[in-house]
Every structure is written in C-alpha cells, then in structure tokens.
Amino acid sequence: MPYAIIAISVVAIIVIGFVVLAVTLRRRKQEEVKPIDYRTFFILGICWLPMGIVFWIVMDLAFGIPLFVMGGTLLTIGLVNRAKWTEPQTLTGGQRKLMIGSIVGGILLLILMLSIFIFIE
C-alpha cells in the first residue's frame, strides 16, 4: 500500500511540473521579456549576507552557510553588473498604500511573534 501512494505522488508531482512548465512557456511567448534588474540582486545580497552570518553563529552551520553563500553570490552578481542597474521606479498611489500596508503588517507580525516568544519563556 505505501508503494502505491509513493507512485501516485511521484506521478502527480511530474504532472504538476509539466503543467507549470507549459504555463510558464506559454506566458513567456506572450509577454515581452523584461531586462534583469541587477540592483535587486545587490539589495538581496546585502540582506542575505548578514542574515547568513547571524544564523551561522547563532544556530547551525547547515542553515547559516547556504544563506551566507547565496548572499555573497547575489551581492557579487549585483556589483559586477553595476553598470546595468536601472533607476528605481516611482510608485503610484495604490502601490504606495500597498507597500506601506505590507510594511506595517510585517512589523505588527514581528511584534506579535516576539511578544509570544517572550511570554512563552
């Protein structure tokens, strides 16, 4: 019985993979390919590199090293292609409200998580 479930799961994953691949390829043909924004790579590298160092020291090598390596890689890609950086886009009113709401929601979620962590201990 367990082998049947594993076989069905493998087939389902393969089918889902093909569907995602087909949808992606179809969208790629319809849409214009956007240029790569290397500034985003740099910003992600700046965020992931120190996070990897902190997790490397505090938690475990297995969790910190991949973040550190990814941060260094993204930072390097961004810096090597600095000449190709695009100017930051200006936000419309709706986008600005959505960003502010996301930041406030993230901060409130962080405060909630920290308060739960403090009261549990």
Residues 60 and 99 in one domain: no
Residue 118 belongs to domain spanning: 91-121
Cβ distance 85 to 39 under 8 Å? yes
31, pLDDT greater than 70: no
Question: Looking at the 3D structure of the chain, how many domains does it have?
Answer: 3
Residues 3 and 25 in one domain: yes
3-state SS class at 59: coil
In this prediction the pTM is 0.55
35, pLDDT greater than 60: yes
Distances (CA, A) of 91 to 2, 20, 38, 99: 52, 31, 19, 9
Residues 61 and 27 in one domain: no
pLDDT single digits (tens) 79-119:
999 888 877 778 788 888 998 999 999 899 888 888 887 87
Residues 45 and 76 in one domain: yes
Of the chain, the percentage scoring pLDDT greater than 70 comes to 89
